[in-house]
Copies of this chain bind each other. A is one copy, B any other.
Amino acid sequence: MAESWATFGRDLHLDLTGSGGVRAALTRALREAVRTGRLAPGTRLPSSRSLAADLALARNTVADAYGDLVAEGWLTARQGSGTRVAHRTVPRPGAVRAAPPEQDRRPAHDLRVGTADVSAFPRSAWLAAGRRAISTAPNDAFGYPDPCGHPALRAALADYLARARGVRTDPARIVVCAGFMQGLAVLGRVLRARGVRELGVESYGLWLHRDVLRRAGLRTVPLTVDGHGARTEELAGHRGVRAALLTPAHQYPTGASLHPDRRAAVVDWASRTGALILEDDYDGEFRYDRQPVGALQGLDPEHVVYFGTASKSLAPALRLAWMVLPGQLAAEVAEVKAAGEWGTGALEQLTLAEFIVSGAYDRHVRAMRLRYRRRRDRLVAALADRAPHIRATGIAAGLHAVLELPPGTEQSIVQAARWQGLALDGLTRFRAPDAPTPHYDALVIGYGTPPDHAFGSALEALLGVLP
C-alpha cells in the first residue's frame, strides 16, 4: 500500500503552467485522477503528511488541496475514516447531438439575398466612434441597460429617422431591438395580448417572419402581391384581421414600391378600424432612381409601427434594429421587452449613436448607395446585353433584384447554379404556402451580398446559368 501510494505520488503530473500555483496544480491532478478512474470510488487517500513527503510539498498544501476537492464533492472527509474518493460514478461529458450545419461549404459565388456587403463594413470609422463613445460615457452607461434602448441612441435615431425617412417620433417611442425579428416577436406578443388573432402579410416575404408571428399565436393571412406591391384593399375583406405586416418602400422580395392609392387605402383602413400597420423599412435608405419615398409611418404615427435596422445599412453582426411605436403601445412593448430581459449591449448602442451623430452613418450610407447602385446598373446592363429576354423587375432600390424567368425553369436553374458553385434563391422560397397570388418563376438576386472584387465573377456565373 505504501508502495502503491508512493507510485501514485510520483505518477501525479503536477502541471504548474496553469493559474493558482502548486496547490491548484495538485488539486487539478487529483481531480483528474478521480475523473479518469485511476482513483476508484471509496479509495482512501494517503494522509496529507505522507503525500506531502512523497511530493516534497508542504503538508498544508496537500491538506488544502484535499479540502478543495472535498468542497467540490470529489472527495469526502469523515472523522476517523480519513479522506476518501466519493462514491459516485463520474460521467463523461456527452457528445453534442447537433444537426449538421446547413451551409457548411462556402459557395464559390454568393448571390443569395439578405446580407449587405459586409466586406465594406467601415471598421476604422466604427472603432473611432466606439473610442469616442466609450471613453466619454458616464459610469452609469456600464450598468444594466434600459431594455428599451440607451437614451443616447434613441435620441440619435429620432433625429435621423425624421430627417432621412420622414418618421414622426420622439425618443420615448423608440425601442431598440436585437434585430428586426426580436421587435416583431415582442410586438406579436403585445398584439396577441390585446386580442388580435389574425394579421395580414404579403404573399411574398421571409418565412422566418411568418414563423415568428405564428409562434406569437397569430394566424397570418396573405395578401395578393403584384407590380404595385401588396393589394392592401383586400384587408377590408378580412373582418378578423386587425394588423398587417408590409414592406411599403420596397416589397420584399418582389421589389415594387407600394402604390400611392394602396398606401392611402391601408392607412385609411387602419385608422377606420383601429388596426395596426407594421412597416418593415429594411432597406429604405437605398433608392437609386429618385429620393427615397418617405415612411408610411409619417402619415399616421398612431396606427403604424415603423421598423428599421442596421443589418442592411451597416452589418447584421451588430444585431441592432429599432421600432417606432404609437404612443399608446410604447408602455406595453416596454413591459414585455423588460420582462423578457433581452437587452442589447449598451456599448454597441453608444457606438452607433456616436456613429450617427458624427455623420459617419450618412457618409457610409451614401458610399454604399453608390456601390449598390453601380452593381444594379451593371446587372441590368449585362442582362440587356447578353440575356435580353430576362428582365430585372421592381424599382431601382435596395440590395437585390428579381429576374423573371420562363415558366417552369426556376427550379432547374437554381439547381444548375448550385452545381456551378453559385448560390442563389428562387422566388418560390419566399411565397407563403397559402398565398392567393399566382406564382411566377423568378430568381431573387442579392447583388449586395458579395464583396466588390467578387461581384464581377458572380455576375458572370449568373449569366452562365440563365436560359
Q: Chain A interface (Cβ within 8 Å of chain B)?
A: 18-20, 23-24, 27, 31, 64, 67-68, 70-74, 76, 86, 88-99, 114-115, 118-119, 121, 123-124, 126-127, 130-131, 134-135, 139-145, 163-164, 166, 168-170, 172-173, 178-179, 181-182, 185, 208, 211-212, 215, 257, 260, 263-264, 267-268, 271, 290-291, 293-294, 296, 298-303, 311, 315-320, 326-328, 330-331, 334, 339-348, 362, 451
Are A93 and B317 in touch, CB under 8 angstroms? no
Q: A133 — nearest CB in chain B belongs to which residue?
A: B127
Known: A19-B362, A345-B319. A93 touches B143 (CB 8 A): no
Are A267 and B88 in touch, CB under 8 angstroms? yes
Known: A72-B166, A135-B123. A330 touches B267 (CB 8 A): no
Q: A263 — nearest CB in chain B belongs to which residue?
A: B73
Q: A99 — nearest CB in chain B belongs to which residue?
A: B331
Complex: how many Å from CA A327 to CA B346? 32
Copy number in the complex reads 2
Chain B's nearest CB lies how many Å from the CB of A293?
A: 5
Are A143 and B118 in touch, CB under 8 angstroms? yes
Chain B's nearest CB lies how many Å from the CB of A188?
A: 12
- Chain B positions within 8 Å of A346 at CB level: 317-319
Are A327 and B144 in touch, CB under 8 angstroms? no
- Chain B positions within 8 Å of A182 at CB level: 340-342
Q: A34 — nearest CB in chain B belongs to which residue?
A: B299
Are A294 and B164 in touch, CB under 8 angstroms? no
List 24 contacting pairs A-B, 8 Å CB cutoff, sorted by A: A19-B362, A71-B257, A72-B298, A73-B264, A73-B296, A88-B271, A88-B299, A89-B271, A94-B301, A97-B330, A97-B331, A123-B134, A123-B135, A127-B130, A142-B316, A143-B315, A144-B311, A145-B316, A145-B317, A178-B345, A179-B341, A185-B340, A317-B345, A318-B347
Q: A178 — nearest CB in chain B belongs to which residue?
A: B342
Complex: how many Å from CA A178 to CA B315? 19
Are A316 and B72 in touch, CB under 8 angstroms? no
- Chain B positions within 8 Å of A139 at CB level: 118-119, 121, 451
A18, A88, A294, A345: residue with the most chain B Cβ atoms closer than 10 Å? A345
Which A-B residue pairs are the 8 nearest by beta carbons?
A94-B327, A118-B142, A181-B341, A317-B346, A93-B301, A73-B263, A142-B315, A144-B316
Chain B's nearest CB lies how many Å from the CB of A306?
A: 11
Are A172 and B73 in touch, CB under 8 angstroms? no
Chain B's nearest CB lies how many Å from the CB of A232?
A: 11
Chain B's nearest CB lies how many Å from the CB of A147?
A: 10
Are B299 and A73 in touch, CB under 8 angstroms? yes
Complex: how many Å from CA A172 to CA B114? 26
- Chain B positions within 8 Å of A347 at CB level: 126, 317-318, 348
- Chain B positions within 8 Å of A179 at CB level: 341-343
A18, A123, A166, A319: residue with the most chain B Cβ atoms closer than 10 Å? A319
Q: A264 — nearest CB in chain B belongs to which residue?
A: B73
- Chain B positions within 8 Å of A208 at CB level: 341
- Chain B positions within 8 Å of A143 at CB level: 115, 118, 315-317
A96: which of B70, B215, B327 is its contact (CB, 8 Å)?
A: B327
Complex: how many Å from CA A318 to CA B169? 28
Give 5 new A-B contacts, CB below 8 A, not counting A68-B291, A317-B346: A19-B163, A76-B260, A86-B264, A91-B302, A130-B130
- Chain B positions within 8 Å of A264 at CB level: 73, 76, 86, 88
Are A19 and B172 in touch, CB under 8 angstroms? no
Complex: how many Å from CA A27 to CA B165? 12
- Chain B positions within 8 Å of A317 at CB level: 141-145, 345-347
Are A298 and B31 in touch, CB under 8 angstroms? yes
Are B127 and A134 in touch, CB under 8 angstroms? yes
Are B339 and A178 in touch, CB under 8 angstroms? no
Known: A166-B31, A291-B20, A317-B141. A299 touches B74 (CB 8 A): yes
Q: A139 — nearest CB in chain B belongs to which residue?
A: B119
Complex: how many Å from CA A342 to CA B181? 8
Q: A335 — nearest CB in chain B belongs to which residue?
A: B99
A121: which of B70, B142, B260 is its contact (CB, 8 Å)?
A: B142
Chain B's nearest CB lies how many Å from the CB of A79?
A: 14
Q: A28 — nearest CB in chain B belongs to which residue?
A: B166
- Chain B positions within 8 Å of A94 at CB level: 301-302, 326-328
Known: A118-B143, A163-B18, A317-B346. A72 touches B341 (CB 8 A): no
